[in-house]
Structure 1
Amino acid sequence: MIEDITIRYFDSFKEKTLVDPILIEGLPGIGQVGKLVAEYMIHMLGAEKIGELHSIYLPPQVILDESGFVRLARNELFLYQGDGKNIVFLVGDHQSTSNEGHYLLADAYCEIAEELKVKRIYTLGGFGVGHLVNEPRVLGAMNRAELRPDLEAAGVRFDRDEPGGGIIGAAGLMLGLSAGRGIDAVCLMGETSGYLVDPMAAASVLATLSKLIEVPVDPTRLNERASEMEKVIEGLVEGEKLQKDEELSYIG
């Protein structure tokens, strides 16, 4: 029998008593910014997978690998323990396909945080501006006003009316739902066009997050990907300019 939401911890993760853990959410979203940051950190820190979440609220599909093997769509939990830090990462294949599912899954994520006695949640995402961005800012939101000074000290921006449409999906809902559980939560959003996977915005978020959690993560590989993407964007811009010039020449 398929349950609405199933959370399974691996046998290797028998001891759930962590010391002042934080939870970092990096599920797919605008520009894949949060996903890039969280998965990069998992790789660079050598975090260990501790559990999986399956749900009927995820898209009705299986994930296919290069050999033709399939598996159900899932979200995953990883744990990093080092230098006196305990960091739980929430990453995965998808967010929900329905409004109801978004709420139920976000509440399940907050329940995980409460069970593990997480002291603070960081949700990560992209802030789509609809145009190319050379130097992405990191915008912020929080579920308790007292958190703002530390965020501003790390360079997080709180510009008026941004994000104007609110924060959609787990990155936003987890802030609201965790407040009722007494868990501090912060959302960090990298400014992005929203058109492409954006490692430049991800690099900005990574730098800010590293300051806030005081865990240094070598940004070299992510910066290299950002540089490659910058060249791609420059090519797109040049192509757009050329097309406009040709159109003007034709009109003239």
Structure 2
Amino acid sequence: MIEDISVRYLESFKDKRPVDPILIEGLPGIGQVGKLVAEYMIHMLVAEKIGEIHSIYLPPQVILDESGLVRLARNELYLCQSAEKDIVFLVGDHQSTSNEGHYLLADTYCEIAEELKVKRIYTLGGFGVGHLVNEPRVLGAVNRAELREELETAGVIFNRDEPGGGIIGAAGLMLGLSALRGIEAVCLMGETSGYLVDPMAAASVLAILSNLIGVPVDPTKLNDRASEMEKVIEGLVEGEKMKNEELSYIG
């Protein structure tokens, strides 16, 4: 029987309880910034999968692997237990397709955090500016005023008008809903055009996040992807300049 939202922990997790963990949310979003950061950290820190989340509020589709085998769309939980910090990661295929689903899923994620005794939630995302960005800033939001100074010291920018339309999806809702459960939460948003998958913005977020949580993560591979994307962007910019020059000449 299909439930509206189901959370299933793997058998291997039953004997493992995180100690004073943080939770890092990196679901798909603008520029896939949060997803890139969280999945990169899972890979580099060799985090272990501990659970799956299925829901009728996710898109009505199945995911195909290389052999053509299908599975339901889902989101997943991973756990990294290290000397520096225990980290629970929330990643996955999709966010909700409806307003109601966004609220219910985000509340479920916060309920999971509460059950696991998470001390702080970090939500990650992209801040779309509608144009190509060479040196992405990292903008922030918090659910407690006293958290702001810590983030600003780490290089996070707080501007009243950015983002002007608020923070959509899990990255924003989890800040508001976690406050109701007494959990402090921070959102880190990498500045991105919003047009492309953006490892440059992800690298900027990773650098600040790693510093904030005190867990070193080798950024080399992500920086390499960012360098490749920078070349792509340079090509796009050059192409746009040539196009404008041609239009100017024709006019």
Shorter-chain TM range is over 0.9
Counterpart in the other structure of 1:230: 230
Counterpart in the other structure of 1:17: 17
| 1:187 maps to 2:187 | yes
Give the RMSD, CA atoms, in angstroms. Answer: 0.7
Q: Secondary structure of the equivalent of 2:94?
A: coil
**TM-score, length-scaled by structure 2:** 0.99
Counterpart in the other structure of 2:164: 164
Counterpart in the other structure of 1:68: 68
Measured in 2, the distance between the counterparts of 1:152 and 1:207 equals 14
Is the CA contact 2:127–2:163 (under 8 Å) kept in the aligned structure 1?
A: yes
Q: Secondary structure of the equivalent of 1:12?
A: helix
After TM superposition, give the deviation of residue 18 of structure 1 in Å.
Answer: 2.0
Q: Deviations over 1:41-63 (max 9, x none)?
A: 00000000000000000000000
Amino acid across the alignment from 2:108: A
**Counterparts in 2 of 1:1-252, with a 5 A limit?**
1-15=1-15, 17-251=17-251
Measured in 2, the distance between the counterparts of 1:157 and 1:229 equals 24
Single out whichever of 140-149 and 16-25 deviates more from structure 2.
16-25
After TM superposition, give the deviation of residue 157 of structure 1 in Å.
Answer: 0.5
Amino acid across the alignment from 1:136: P
**TM-score, length-scaled by structure 1:** 0.98
* Structure 1: 4+ residue segments shifted above 3 A: none
After TM superposition, give the deviation of residue 15 of structure 1 in Å.
Answer: 3.2
Is the CA contact 1:16–1:116 (under 8 Å) kept in the aligned structure 2?
A: no
Instruction: List alignment gaps of at least 5 residues for structure 2.
Output: none
Q: Secondary structure of the equivalent of 1:147?
A: helix
Is the CA contact 1:127–1:163 (under 8 Å) kept in the aligned structure 2?
A: yes
Is the CA contact 2:18–2:81 (under 8 Å) kept in the aligned structure 1?
A: no
Is the CA contact 2:27–2:91 (under 8 Å) kept in the aligned structure 1?
A: yes
Paired residues in the alignment total 251
Is the CA contact 2:84–2:215 (under 8 Å) kept in the aligned structure 1?
A: no
Amino acid across the alignment from 2:42: I
Measured in 2, the distance between the counterparts of 1:170 and 1:218 equals 27
After TM superposition, give the deviation of residue 16 of structure 1 in Å.
Answer: 5.3
Q: Deviations over 1:125-179 (max 9, x none)?
A: 0000011111111000000001111111110100121111000000000000000
Q: Secondary structure of the equivalent of 1:63?
A: strand
Percent identity, please: 84
Single out whichever of 130-139 and 241-250 deviates more from structure 2.
241-250
Q: Deviations over 1:45-86 (max 9, x none)?
A: 000000000000000000011211110000000000011411
Instruction: List alignment gaps of at least 5 residues for structure 1.
Output: none
Measured in 2, the distance between the counterparts of 1:87 and 1:33 equals 19
Measured in 2, the distance between the counterparts of 1:190 and 1:158 equals 12
